[in-house]
Structure formats: C-alpha cells, structure tokens
Amino acid sequence: MIVVTAPTGQIGRQVLDALLDGSEKVRVIARDPAKIAPEARERVEVVQGSHSDPRVLSEAFEGADSVLWLVPPNPRADDIEEHYLGFTRPACEALRQRGVRRVVGVSSLGRGYGKHAGQLSAAFAMDELIESTGVGYRALAMPFFMENLLHQAGALRTEGVLSVLAAPDRALPLVATRDIAAEAARLLAAASWSGQETVPLIGPDSLTPAGMAQVLSEVLDRPVRFERPDGEEYRATLTRYGMHEAWAQGLLDMAAAQEDGIYDPEWRTLDTPAPTGFRQWCREVLIPAVEAMGA
C-alpha cells in the first residue's frame, strides 16, 4: 500500500496519476475528496481529513509500505518552520507506530548551505525530523519550479513581462513538476531501496532570468522582458493580498539564498539532469495556459 498526501496539489495529483497508471494500490489523505478526479477517486482508498491530524495519519498509515510526504504551503502561517514541523511531528509518530518502511519527501536543494533560507530551511528541518525516525527516506531536492511561472500567464500575455525575484544575470536552476512526480512515483513503487539519501532533481538548462525571458519571447512569438521586482514592494504586495509577514519574509530570504548560491554545489556535481527542458515545458504547459487566458 502506498499513501499519497496532498493528492489534489500540483505534485501529488501527478504522482497519483502515475501510480494508478502502474496499477499500484494507493490510499490518499484528502481534506476534500471531491477535488480528486472522479476516475482516480474510484480507484483509491480515501482517508478524509488533514495530514497534520494524528488520528488521520494513524488510520492512513496502517498497513502502508511507502508514503509520499508533502507539506502544503500556508501563506497565512506566522511561523514557517513550525508550519512544516506541525505537520511532520505527528507523521513521524505515525510512521513509527505503523511500521512504514519508506518515505519520499518533497524538499529542496541546498541542505548543506548552513545559513537561513526561508521556506527552504523549514524543509530541511522537516527532512531531519523524518530521518530521526530511522525510516527509509528519499528527500527529493529541487530548485525553482517552472510551474511557478503559471501565475504570470496573464502578465506574459498582456504585458510581456517576466517577474522573478532573482538576479537577471545569474543562472537559476529549474525543474518541471512532471519530473518530480515521475521520480516520486518510481521510488514509491519500488520495494528495493532502504537507507536515507537526497535525490537532486534539476532540469537540463542553465538559464538566467533574462535568458528565460528570451526563450519565452521565442516560444510565445512576442517580446518578453525580464523585470526584477523591488523586494520591499514585493513584500508589501504579498501582505496586502493576505500573506502573513513571516511567510513573505521567508520568500525574500529564500530568494537571497538562491542568489547566494544555495543550489550551486549540487547543481555543479549533477550527473543526470531531469528530462524536461524549459523550452519544452513552455510549449507543452505554459503556452496552453497563456492561450486559455485569452479564450
């Protein structure tokens, strides 16, 4: 039995689809099972509730061999690390009690960075807590998600602007969530691994934000320019729309760590990149989203 947390999210949904395509036996934890696609919902066991709830976790982990562990973001959280660990502490207890053998966690590159890095530091604390249980663990370590740009589909269509809180001339490693999901599903379905390791997942490109804007110009067939937002204005905008100050500051801290090279050691030593390139992702994922904005 494989347990999938956050099965309606960007990564969890794709992991669920991949596991079902492989005819795996799957149980999901979902606050609102109605959000699961009907064709998937009828093929899985559903435990309704939050995967921060000890009772829900105990029920879901009973008889489970492997678990996909993903802490959902909460922009209204007033303490980022406590948000991550508040989910993970009861999970660790349930892992011990139910004898789960393997966990695949959604984490980040840069665990050896050693300095504060906002939400990334909270993900590293999550990894350490899970590893303390002794369970077999694979921390999927990712950089900037290509899917983050989907929030800018409207601006790309109407204004021709790419806005990323990053230096214009510093390469930013990228990954597509499809590649994260594929690796997670592969590990969850495999019964042959044990121990604890970090698994870097980084796409094949080496693009600066300005380079990303050039690719976008070519695939969208319209001029796209890169604009780096002012940090204070960016934070003010986020908090004005309801994000807690702590979460907004965490995003700024994360961006500062990225610019400081938090991803570089693992990126430089990567042997095999994830398969999806930025241009391919733009054609297959971003362009349909941009076109839908004008429909």
d(CA 121, CA 257): 10
Residue with token string 């050693």: 114
Cα–Cα–Cα angle for 191, 193, 198, rounded to 5 degrees? 130
Question: Looking at residue 265, what is its pLDDT?
Answer: 94
- Helical H runs in the chain? 10-21, 38-41, 54-61, 80-98, 119-131, 153-158, 177-189, 209-220, 231-240, 245-259, 264-268, 278-281, 287-293
pLDDT of residue 294: 64
Contact 276, 203 (CB under 8 A): yes
Taking only the tens of pLDDT, the chain with its 295 residues reads 999 999 999 999 999 999 999 988 999 999 999 999 999 999 999 999 999 999 999 999 999 999 999 999 999 999 999 999 999 999 999 999 999 999 999 999 999 999 999 999 999 999 999 999 999 999 999 999 999 999 999 889 889 999 999 988 899 999 999 999 999 999 999 988 999 999 999 999 999 999 999 999 999 999 999 999 998 999 999 999 999 999 999 999 999 999 999 999 999 999 999 999 999 999 999 999 988 876 5
Tell how strand 102-106 and strand 45-48 pair up: unpaired
Contact between 176 and 276 (Cβ < 8 Å) = yes
Contact 267, 173 (CB under 8 A): yes
DSSP structural state of residue 173:
-
Neighbours of 93 (CB within 10 A): 15
Supply φ then ψ for residue 73, to 5 degrees: -70, 150
3-state secondary structure of 282: helix
pLDDT at 293: 72
d(CA 273, CA 294): 34
In the DSSP assignment, the letter for residue 5 is S
Q: Closest Cα partner for 128 from 198, 50, 56?
A: 198
Q: Report pLDDT for 202.
A: 98
> Is residue 273 within 8 Å of residue 183, measured between CB atoms?
no
Question: 2-144+175-200 falls under which CATH superfamily?
Answer: NAD(P)-binding Rossmann-like Domain (3.40.50.720)
Strand 45-48, strand 225-227: pairing? unpaired
- The tokens of 13 are what? 């949904």
pLDDT on residue 291 = 85
Residue type, 54: P
The owner of tokens 């109605």 is: 34
Give pTM, 2 decimals. 0.95
CB of 121 closer than 8 Å to CB of 83: no
